Structure formats: C-alpha cells, structure tokens
Structure 1
Amino acid sequence: MFLLFLFSCFLGDAHQVCSSGKRYIYFKFTVLSKADTFPEFSAVAVADDRLIAHYSNEERDWILTEDDWINAPEEPPDSRDWFLHQIRTLSDCTDSLCSELHVLQRVIGCELEKLSDGSVNLRAFDEYGFDGEDFMAFNSDTLQWIEKNPKAKETKMKWDQQTVHNELLKDYLKTCTDWISTFNNTENRKPDVHTTLRKDPNDQNKQVLTCLTTGFYPRDIEMDIRFNKTALEDQISSGIRPNDDGSFQMRSSVEIDRNHEGIYDCFVIHRSLTEPVSAGWMEKCTDCEESKWPDKKVAAAVVVVVVLLAVLLIVLQRYKRRRRMYTGMASSGLGTGEPGSRPGRNFS
C-alpha cells in the first residue's frame, strides 16, 4: 500500500497540482523510516509536468535536469537531516533504526490558474502525508499548522511553536507565488492528430474508430470522438501519457455500427492551437473485408456459375470416354466390315 502511495498525487487540495489546466511548480519529498527497495530519502522538483530537478543522496545536493530552469525558485529551507529526524519522531523509533516501515511525504509549492473571466488565482501550499493519509497543512496567512488527522495534534502543537521556521516557510511561499505570476513558459508543441478506421474483430457489423493525438506540450488537452458534432459516449481512452521527448500523447477509440451514416470526427483543443482541430476518417475501412456472401443476388449468381461449370465438366468427361472407346474399336478392326472381322455395324 505504501509503495503505491509513493508515486501518487495526494494530500488533500494539493493533489490538484497533478491535474491539468494550471501552471505550477512543486517540490515533493518522500522519507522512509527504513531503507528498503527505495532510498530512505528522495525528492524531486516538478513544473508543468516536467521533472526539473532531483535530490542526489550521493552528492547531498539538488541536480537540475532541465538547463532552462536555472532561475526557478530555490528549494524549501528544510534539509535532508530534518526530514529523517521527523520520520523517526513520528514513527516512535528509539534509535536511528526502525523495525517497521513508515512513510512521510511532503509537497510544497504554488500554482497559477487563469479563470474563465480572465482573472488569475494564485495559491501556495505546504502539506504533509503520513502512512498514506493526510496529516498536516500550513496556513501561510496565520502562520499556523492545520491538523488533518487526529494523530497530528501533538505534532501541530510543536510545529506551531517554531515561529522562526514558520516565518521562513511564509517567505518561501511568497517568493514562489511572485515567481510563478511572472513566469512565462513559451514552449508549446502542436498536437499531431491521426485517425484510423478498422473492423471489429468480434463483430463483422461493427467498426472501431481510433484517434491518436501525439507530440503536444503542455499536458493539458481536450479530445473527443464526435458524431455529427456531438461527443460519443462509451469512448475508451488511454489517458494522457508521456513521450520520450517530453511531449505527451493520448489515444481514444469507440465502436460504431458500420452501416450507421453520418459524419465522425476527432475534435482536439490545445493551448498551442489558435483554433480547435477537427480530423475526420476515411470513407472506407482500411482493413475491412466484405462478408463471404455480401448479397443474395451475388450468391445466387455464384451458385449458377458453379453448377454450369460442374455440368460442363461432366460433359467433357463423357466426351473423352466415348472418344477413347471409338479410338479403341477402330484400332482393333471392330465395326469396319473387313474380312476376318466380327460382324458389326460399319461406323464409317
């Protein structure tokens, strides 16, 4: 359960940083009470779905993974040793080694969201989770911690008294929101839209429409398969997935009746586009095969041809047998009327 928790978006309202439609930067820390398959301390920095930095336990420092992020906000003020101390305190470990596995996670950062009326909403967050549950959240306005779990009461009392540390957190979150309000990521990649129409392997009367949109950045995208400009239900989507080059892709498909007449299209909305893209399908299925007997008249005609061929074959066989018989009689002198031959009919 804990291992699944390590890689999920979490912590109450802060899980919104994993959704699309917003600009954000956040640092995520994961601490284990004992080293197992994963290191006891790990941390990453993410901005708009891009991994911009990670913490190296060997070098005890942050390593940038994106060269163009040198002006990003600095990492939060808390050190690796501070996190290890907190997990051991919360886990009630008597020494540096813990017998049970516990998980402490923290996500801290800020986000910017442009609303439909043109206004901008800025939000800073600093939240903790412990053993897969929401634990604590920091209110930068009141400089107080909000307990989100009954187990956090004692920790809240201790952390509320750390006024100097809380002031540092407030300044950091203010710096983060100031930075993201002026940040403008100009990298936009337009999506490539590909459509295919194929037969349904399970039903010869059905076809499968598939729309693949790939190569787009940033991650936020809207895509629907439509019939006469109305989005179809029962679409099967792969969800948004990363490509090797940092861009994203998404695939959707839907099953339709092959005899259903109308206009189908793949409708895509993305920030890189000045207007939505509508890509249609070819008129005919690329790999569909007609049924063995597609029409009764055609089937009847085929039967007639087969019967005629059979009759012709029988006539030819009889003709060949009679010809061989006549040839044999001629060679033996039968029926010629010559002396020494058997009486018989003259066929000449």
Structure 2
Amino acid sequence: KHHLCYMFSVLTVKAQISLGPWASVAVCDDKQVAYYSNENKKWIRESLTIDEPPDSRDWYLHQLNTLSNCTVSQCSELHVLQRMVGCDLVNFPDGTVSLRAFDEYGFDGEDFLAFNSDALQWIDKNPKAKETKMKWDLQTGRNKFIKKYLNNCMNWISTFNNTKKNSPDVRVFARRAPDDHNKMVLSCLTTGFYPRDIEMNIRLDRINIQNQISSGIRPNGDGSFQLRTSVEIDRNHEGSYDCFVIHSSLTEPASIKWGKYGICINCETEFLWLVIAGAPVLILVLTVIACIYKKKRSNGEL
C-alpha cells in the first residue's frame, strides 16, 4: 500500500481580505516529500518526479473569498479553507493494481466537497456546498484536468518508492510472563523499514498465533518505521516459533526463528535464584552422603 497526498490550509482574517497564513505540503507514505516555501514563492521538492499541485496560491484565495461571501451575522471574521488531494495505490500479490484517487475540501472546520473521479462529479457534503457543486460540475475542462492529474499519481508513487526503500531489521526475544511463570511473552521487533506498510506475525509451526498484541506502526527519528508484536506462550510447549515479515523491500518474506534456547530476558535470573535457593539443600545432601561414605569406610565396608 502506498499513498501520495497534497495538503493545503488557507487562512484569512476577514472576508474579502487578502490571503493570510498559507501552508501546503506533499506527503508520500507519511513522509514529507515537498512543501511550498512562502519565502521563495515556490515548491521545494525532494524528487522531481513528483509534480506540483494543479492549482495556484491565487486560486485558493479566490475560492476562500467566494465561500466567505456572507453577511456578518452568518459567519465569523475568521475563515479557513482546507484541501487534501492525491491517491492511494495497492499492489496485490497476483500482480493487479488498485488506484483510488481523492480530492476533498473542508471549509471552516467542516466537510465541504469531495470529487468522484469515476463519475467526474463533485459530491456536496454540506448544505452550503450545493451552489459550489453545481458550478464546479459544469467546469468540464477543470474536472478532466484533475482526473488526469490524479491518474498520474500512480506513476509518481511507483517512481518515488523504487528509490526509497529500507529493509526491516527483525529481532525475536522472550521474557518471563509477569503473572504466570509457566508462560513467557514472545516478542518480535522490526525496525528501520520504509515504506510504512508492513505485515508481521508470530507463528507456531507456520500458523499465526491468536491474540497477538501490536504496538502499531511507529515512526523513527530518521524517517523509517518500527513495529513490535507480542504474545504469551507456554514455556514448556515444544514447537517451532518464528516471526514472519512481509515488506515491499524484501524479495521474499523473512522468517526469523526463535528456539527453546533463544534470547530470553529475566529467564537466567530465575534460574540463578533457583540455584541459590537450592544450594543449602544440595550442601546438606552432599554432607550426609560424605558422612555415610566415611562411616562405611571406617567399618571396612568399602
């Protein structure tokens, strides 16, 4: 799964007044790949294969002023126009591809309009958007341009992700269960992977174990991601445990095995305390054996 999304936020202080704060960024798989520099008045792009958005800064000002055209009693002095435009791409194991394009608007904190790229029509999500929907539906040239722009999204995603891939570093370890010393918590930690989408499961004899607990995919400081999955297992159960990982950076799924003598945190401590606790008994037994041996030897029985 991959996605590319442009996000815009436009703010004006008063209706029919010039444009206020402006923020616009492009995000690919949750990583910023481009942004608009207000200082340089242009887009700064990490990859030239990702095109600039279809509308200019002045276009947003025009739309914001049009939508804000109401009486003082009907709207506040502060108005915000937001937009998300982009696509989601899914590559299936059989080689087929699914592409979902989207173009959505919000006005003053509420859903406003959304573009149906299949029907080439706008969907009004707010009673205030009906007039804008009718006007934009008649703009066939603009709608076809957006349709073509969104379709190109698939090529941009493919190009970007072919050059931005990091393989996951996978570790498997266990620790004593806090409430039941007959059980262990087996964990699988994978980190450093990019893109974000990943599938990971702890398996027993190649079958996914039920009731796994996941941390969810989390970001690392370098832009890569990490994921941790854990499950309770019977420490005396015989079987083959492994961590099974599927990621687009791997030519085939990775299987990292965990055996009975694999890494186990706190297990050695438990064993040490058992030895310490049993030491006095062991010393007593050895002393008794030594006494019996000495007595028999003095009586000539040995």
| TM-score normalised by length of structure 1 | 0.65
Q: Distance in 2 between matches of 1:31 and 1:126?
A: 16
- Are residue 233 (structure 1) and residue 210 (structure 2) matched? yes
How far did residue 272 of structure 1 move? 2.1
Match of residue 17 from structure 1: none
- Are residue 266 (structure 1) and residue 246 (structure 2) matched? no
Please tell me whether the aligned partners of residues 112 and 121 of structure 1 are also in contact (alpha carbons under 8 angstroms). yes
What are the superposed Cα offsets for residues 69-96 of structure 1, whole Å, 9 maximum, x if unpaired? 113222222x33433443455456658x
Q: Distance in 1 between matches of 2:159 and 2:92?
A: 17
Q: Distance in 2 between matches of 1:259 and 1:132?
A: 56
SS at match of 2:162: coil
How far did residue 45 of structure 1 move? 0.8
Q: Distance in 2 between matches of 1:182 and 1:294?
A: 58
Match of residue 9 from structure 2: 30
In angstroms, what is the RMSD of aligned CA positions? 3.7
**How do residues 44-193 of structure 1 correspond to structure 2 at under 5 angstroms?**
44-64=25-45, 66=46, 69-77=47-55, 79-87=56-64, 89-90=66-67, 99=76, 103-130=80-107, 133-140=110-117, 143-176=120-153, 185-193=162-170
- Are residue 301 (structure 1) and residue 284 (structure 2) matched? no
Q: For residue 149 of structure 2, what is the amino acid of its counterpart? A: Y
Please tell me whether the aligned partners of residues 168 and 193 of structure 2 are also in contact (alpha carbons under 8 angstroms). yes
More strand per residue: 2
Q: Distance in 2 between matches of 1:32 and 1:209?
A: 50
Q: For residue 155 of structure 1, what is the amino acid of its counterpart? A: T
What are the superposed Cα offsets for residues 46-66 of structure 1, whole Å, 9 maximum, x if unpaired? 2243311112233332222x2
Match of residue 210 from structure 1: 187
Please tell me whether the aligned partners of residues 115 and 123 of structure 2 are also in contact (alpha carbons under 8 angstroms). yes
How far did residue 123 of structure 1 move? 4.0
- Percent identity over the alignment is 60
Q: Distance in 1 between matches of 2:203 and 2:124?
A: 46
| TM-score normalised by length of structure 2 | 0.74
Q: Distance in 2 between matches of 1:193 and 1:225?
A: 12
SS at match of 1:138: strand
- Are residue 290 (structure 1) and residue 277 (structure 2) matched? no
How far did residue 167 of structure 1 move? 4.8
SS at match of 1:58: coil
Q: For residue 60 of structure 1, what is the amino acid of its counterpart? A: K
Please tell me whether the aligned partners of residues 135 and 149 of structure 1 are also in contact (alpha carbons under 8 angstroms). yes
How far did residue 223 of structure 1 move? 0.5
Please tell me whether the aligned partners of residues 190 and 272 of structure 1 are also in contact (alpha carbons under 8 angstroms). yes
Q: For residue 54 of structure 2, what is the amino acid of its counterpart? A: P
Aligned residues: 277
Match of residue 249 from structure 1: 226
Q: Distance in 2 between matches of 1:251 and 1:160?
A: 47
Q: What are structure 1's unaligned runs of at least 5 residues?
A: 1-20, 309-348
Specify whether residues 228 and 56 from structure 1 end up closer, same or farther in structure 2 by C-alpha distance, changes over 3 A only.
same
Q: For residue 54 of structure 1, what is the amino acid of its counterpart? A: Y
Q: For residue 41 of structure 1, what is the amino acid of its counterpart? A: W
Please tell me whether the aligned partners of residues 123 and 177 of structure 1 are also in contact (alpha carbons under 8 angstroms). no
SS at match of 1:271: coil
Q: For residue 58 of structure 1, what is the amino acid of its counterpart? A: E
